[in-house]
Chain A
Amino acid sequence: MRKMLMFSVALMLVASAFGQAKKPTIMVVPSDRYCITKGYSTKINNQGTETELPDYKKALQNDAELRMAISKMSGIMSDREFPLKDLEQELRNIANESAESAMLTGSGGSSVTESPIDVLKRTAKADIIMDLDFSVVKQGPKNSIMYTLNGLDAYTSKNIASSTGVGSPSTSASVELLIEEAVLSHMDEFCGRLQAHFDDMFNNGREVKIMVKVFDGSDVNLSDEYDYNGETDELSIFIEDWMADNTVNGRFSLSDATENFQRYEQVRIPMFYERNGRQRAMDTRTFVNNLKKFLAEAPFNLESKVYMRGLGEAWVIIGEK
């Protein structure tokens, strides 16, 4: 009993010392293949090329099997204390937000400021997408379900968890029952892989993507030379050095670079940082803000703007605020 009490106190101390990391949001989204083969799609003309895009609203309003699968998955994830973002509700919220934003005026008659980027950003998004696909496979009188569930990191585009398989054929069970069985069968495997991804995140830092760009009106570029800490080198090299010093175990890869941009991938940022003597959760914006501060200091004295693309991606654009 005493041991248990001491263990609980130790756990509480650890929890209070480290705080909570930023929790990624997860949303189930039907795959493009599912939507297009079932006819839940719209065709758009993209600069002369006809493109077929999934229509999620149509899919959710008309497909009872899809709704059931999503609902079952949501139930399981809630049971694991990781509630999912609901795609249907999110689409509804976006529509309402647009309408309210257009109608809202202040007492002086001013309307809400919205840049084109603000409007563009108003889309249904999550940090992890559970890409769901299933279809009924018929073998004579027997039906079976081919089921694929992929967990995709929205920023690194990596498949972080997946589960796939074809269920056993049945002549008597209804399609709905077979879908439910497929969800039940695969969710533990999927959650196991998701857990392994989170464990890796806590051990080696959160994997994010960072872009360094330059405004076209700026008179600096990344190949400009500076003297810093007794060394003369290009700005791009000093930014790379900063990355090496501030990532977990110096883990990042510079996948592409010119004098106008640098694309950093597989950047492992720490989960926590200290502020006012307390541990706080780190996200890409906070991490990139530190880079902004570094660039603002001498000898660089550069102004820059931080543009956030969600929990796992941010851009630093040098030249203007």
Chain B
Amino acid sequence: MKRLIKALALSAMSMMLVCVTVNAQSRNKVRKLEYNSQYNYEVATLAVGVDGTKLVKVWGYGKTAEDAVRHAKELGVACAIFRGFPAGSNGSAAPTPAIVTDANAATTHEAYFVKFFEPGGKYLQYVNLSTDGVTTDRVKVNKKTYKVGVELSIAYDELRKEMEREGIARKLNSGF
């Protein structure tokens, strides 16, 4: 009888362990999918920037803190182009619309964006200021991933003009 109870307890424990591992695995899988998702932007507007710029805080992910900062810069520029920034808290800033209004612009102009966002690419021209020297907002999510929040100044107007020049965004006066 004692043996039976022991065997049952052992099997129950092993089943629990399997469940926990499976859960952790699926959690990691979901997390990985979220990191790589083109729709996942963790962005907050901090204040109204000076003429033509947007002051935002963006969180990026990476294997090292430096990678995460790089990712955050890329996300900041991508967010301005494809999604826009939300309104700042306590009325600090109004929402900013996306530069590109065509929902399929990323796929239509894929070749351009791949080159634009490549490491050291042109997108860096539109991130004017950042706090990557003082990355106080840093979390180690798991053994392999850092999550870092950086304050960025995005040159929104210049970025919009670049998209208009490339024919990706419509000008306000186009057609007239």
Contacts and interface: CB of A to CB of B under 8 A. Distances in A.
Interface string A188-220: 110111111011001000000000000000000
B16 interface: no
Given A80-B173, A195-B101, A165 B94 contact: yes
Contacts of A271: 175
Given A168-B91, A186-B94, A196-B101, A20 B175 contact: yes
Contacts of A20: 175-176
Contacts, number: 64
Given A144-B91, A185-B48, A191 B170 contact: no
B128 to A, nearest CB: 16
A187 B10 CA distance: 66
B109 to A, nearest CB: 11
Contacts of A79: 157
A199 B169 CA distance: 12
Given A196-B101, A198-B175, A185 B170 contact: no
Contacts of B135: none
Interface in B40-62: 47-49, 51
A81 B95 contact: no
Interface residues of B, number: 25
B172 interface: yes
A309 interface: no
A189 B170 contact: no
Given A82-B173, A185-B48, A195-B101, A166 B157 contact: no
30 contacts: A20-B175, A21-B176, A23-B176, A79-B157, A81-B171, A82-B172, A144-B91, A163-B94, A166-B91, A167-B91, A167-B92, A168-B88, A168-B91, A184-B49, A185-B48, A186-B94, A188-B94, A188-B96, A188-B156, A189-B95, A189-B96, A191-B97, A192-B84, A193-B97, A194-B172, A195-B101, A195-B170, A196-B101, A202-B175, A271-B175
